[in-house]
């Protein structure tokens, strides 16, 4: 096994335990895959006695990855982002030392606030947007924005938002795209589900899902799982007609709708978002959204069980072929492949064809379905084509 490091700026010449002492374990996340080799603990700097969080990540022994440069992440300094202090690397693991956010998840705090209004939601959502805006200004994609990664700095009433786990692809040798799709599908943008091609606009979609839940108290896809959930995401099948939304102002709904646009290029970007009318003209007189708060408490309790898990549907139509899709940021129109992309395809006689150009993403999906002989998804494809 090679001893070469994956991380260029990791402190490979020293031992983590010489500088930090691991103390209290922070455990595993509720929806973390059982096979995951990572965990988080509190650690104490032996020289300063200051407390930090240490994320220990096990490498795949047989993985061969190119070196990743994390120098830019080490300079990140924003009040709403958990700061990366340093990285230690061994042949078998990575130790990420980060700022310790002592508070709970934001979504758990929201169920406890005495007055839950749009103003309450905006107070915290603005901080999430500010953190993501900062990352995007440095061309950094968070890529994994979800409730588990939106924490609070302390347990005090004046605690601020702390976003964690940004840019995770730099610290893993696993198939991160697959993990995100399989375990946090609810927050995945349509383009990530179909083509593994994305840019920072996937964070805008995730912002929209977060805000939807904060204003409505439940997932926009209700209890959908598996292929039904994928279909809802691809079709942008999101409910704004229920009685609950009548309690929410037009401007708040408009923000959600401008973020949850299937075309990534049409989503409202963060500089425009913070100047939206909802951010600057919110009425001080608002009603308490007690039903939303109650729904959110139920959502928190059911979150882990309701997220799509590959452990429950190992033969899912999408995950069985997802690893074969192209992996790079897209620049062309959404839901389509670059003209120069080549993929493997099966011809009418069942023979494998190499380096075949595809006109659009539907042809790729169709090919996947044919090879899997998935009748349910053939019906879905026909429905998609009919809708268009």
Structural domains of the chain in order of their starting residue, each with its CATH number: 16-98 (3.30.200.20), 106-306 (1.10.510.10), 336-387 (no CATH)
Tell the residue number behind the tokens 């011809």, with chain if given: 347
User: In this model, does residue 33 exceed pLDDT 70?
Assistant: no
Give the pLDDT confidence score for residue 277 in this predicted structure: 94
Tell the residue number behind the tokens 């309690």, with chain if given: 247
User: In this model, does residue 253 exceed pLDDT 80?
Assistant: yes
User: What distance in Å separates the CA atoms of residue 265 and residue 108, rounded to the nearest whole number?
Assistant: 32
Main-chain phi, psi angles of 346, to 5 degrees: -100, 125
* Of 191-200, 293-302, 359-368, minimum mean pLDDT range: 359-368
Q: What are the residues whose beta carbons fall under 8 Å from the beta carbon of 314, sequence distance 6 or more?
A: none
Give the pLDDT confidence score for residue 231 in this predicted structure: 85
Average pLDDT, the chain: 75
Across the range 272-301, mean pLDDT stands at 89
158 or 224: whose pLDDT is higher? 158
Q: What is the DSSP letter of 179?
A: H
> 353: burial class by Cβ within 10 Å (0-12, 13-18, 19+)?
exposed
User: What distance in Å separates the CA atoms of residue 273 and residue 290, rounded to the nearest whole number?
Assistant: 26
Q: Are strands 20-27 and 38-45 parallel, antiparallel or unpaired?
A: antiparallel
In percent, how much of the chain has pLDDT > 70? Answer: 66
Main-chain phi, psi angles of 92, to 5 degrees: -110, -15
pLDDT digits (tens, 9 = 90+) for 178-222: 455 555 778 888 888 777 677 899 999 999 999 999 999 999 988
Bridge partners of 189, per DSSP, are none
Q: What is the DSSP letter of 366?
A: H
> 12: burial class by Cβ within 10 Å (0-12, 13-18, 19+)?
middle
H or E, element range at 354: strand 352-357
CB atoms within 10 A of CB 254: 14
Give the residue from 305, 301, 310 showing the smallest Cα distance to 223: 305
pLDDT digits (tens, 9 = 90+) for 93-102: 888 899 999 9
Q: Please report the sign of the dihedral spanned by the C-alpha atoms of residue 248, residue 252, residue 257, residue 260.
A: negative
User: What distance in Å separates the CA atoms of residue 227 and residue 220, rounded to the nearest whole number?
Assistant: 15
Give the pLDDT confidence score for residue 119 in this predicted structure: 94
CB 302 within 8 A of CB 146: no
CB 295 within 8 A of CB 216: yes
Q: What is the DSSP letter of 68?
A: B
Phi-psi label, residue 122: left if phi above 0, alpha if psi -120 to 50, beta otherwise: alpha
């Amino acid at each position: 096994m090679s001893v070469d490091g994956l991380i260029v700026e990791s402190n490979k010449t020293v031992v983590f335990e010489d500088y930090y002492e691991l103390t209290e374990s922070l455990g595993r996340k509720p929806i973390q895959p059982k096979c995951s080799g990572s965990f988080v603990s509190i650690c104490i700097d032996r020289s300063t006695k200051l407390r930090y969080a240490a994320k220990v990540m096990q490498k795949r022994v047989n993985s061969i990855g190119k070196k990743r440069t994390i120098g830019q992440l080490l300079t990140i300094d924003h009040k709403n982002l958990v700061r990366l202090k340093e990285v230690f690397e061994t042949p078998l693991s990575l130790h990420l030392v980060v700022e310790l956010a002592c508070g709970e998840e934001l979504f758990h705090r929201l169920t406890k606030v005495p007055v839950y209004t749009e103003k309450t939601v905006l107070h915290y959502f603005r901080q999430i947007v500010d953190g993501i805006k900062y990352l995007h200004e440095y061309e950094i994609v968070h890529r994994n924005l979800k409730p588990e990664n939106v924490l609070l700095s302390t347990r005090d009433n004046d605690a601020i938002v702390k976003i964690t786990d940004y840019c995770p692809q730099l610290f893993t040798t696993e198939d991160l795209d697959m993990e995100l799709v399989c375990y946090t599908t609810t927050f995945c943008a349509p383009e990530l589900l179909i083509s593994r091609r994305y840019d920072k606009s996937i964070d805008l979609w995730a912002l929209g899902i977060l805000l939807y839940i904060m204003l409505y108290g439940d997932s926009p896809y209700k209890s959908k799982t598996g292929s039904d959930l994928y279909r809802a995401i691809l079709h942008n099948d999101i409910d704004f007609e229920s009685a609950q939304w009548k309690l929410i102002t037009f401007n708040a709904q408009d923000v959600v709708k401008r973020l949850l646009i299937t075309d990534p290029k049409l989503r409202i970007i963060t500089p425009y978002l913070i100047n939206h009318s909802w951010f600057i003209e919110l009425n001080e007189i608002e009603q308490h959204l007690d039903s939303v708060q109650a729904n959110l408490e139920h959502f928190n309790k059911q979150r882990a069980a309701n997220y799509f898990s590959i452990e429950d549907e190992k033969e899912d139509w999408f995950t069985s072929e997802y690893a074969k899709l192209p992996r790079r940021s897209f620049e062309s129109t959404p839901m389509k492949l670059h003209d120069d992309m080549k993929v493997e395809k099966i011809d009418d006689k069942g023979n494998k064809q190499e380096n075949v150009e595809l006109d659009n993403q539907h042809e790729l999906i169709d090919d996947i379905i044919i090879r899997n002989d998935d009748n349910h998804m053939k019906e879905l494809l026909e429905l998609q084509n009919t809708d268009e």
